Amino acid sequence: MSSQTGAQLLVKSLGAQRVRHVFRIPGAQVDRVFDALVNRSIPTVVCRHEQNAAFIAGATRPGVRRSRWPGGAFA
């Protein structure tokens, strides 16, 4: 059994779900996820505000918006 990090498992799951884009808000809490995305074919888009990331992700399905704040999960 190979050991994988949580970030690697998340990225693997995104690929299995055929996610085409990840819209991100910069923050040290999620850097490992974006490091794991470097070697994948899923492009990341840096957004300046969580609402913008949510609007863009909603318009480009399947898309994912990753937030560093707990409340952002409900946007």
Q: Which helix (H) or strand (E) holds 23?
A: strand 21-24
In terms of phi and psi (left: phi > 0; alpha: psi -120 to 50; beta: otherwise), the region of 54 is alpha
Residue 62 has a pLDDT of 60
What's the Cα-to-Cα distance from 24 to each of 1, 4, 36, 41, rounded to whole Å? 31, 22, 14, 16
pLDDT at 74 over 70: no
Task: Answer yes or no: is pLDDT of 5 > 60.
Answer: yes
Residues spanned by the domain of 33: 6-69
The total domain count for the chain is 1
Q: Residue 1 falls within a domain, yes or no?
A: no
Domain assignment present for 27: yes
CA dist list (Å): 42 to 24, 69, 71: 12, 22, 25
Classified as helix, coil or strand, 40 is: coil
74 falls within a domain: no
Indicate whether 30 belongs to any domain.
Answer: yes
Instruction: Tell me, yes or no, whether 62 lies in a domain.
Output: yes
Asked whether residue 71 carries a pLDDT value surpassing 70, the answer given is no
Judge whether 11 lies within some domain.
yes
Tens of pLDDT, residue by residue over 6-64, are: 888 988 988 888 888 888 887 767 788 888 888 788 888 888 888 888 888 777 766 56
Asked if the structure places residue 24 within a domain, the reply is yes
Q: Is residue 75 part of a domain?
A: no
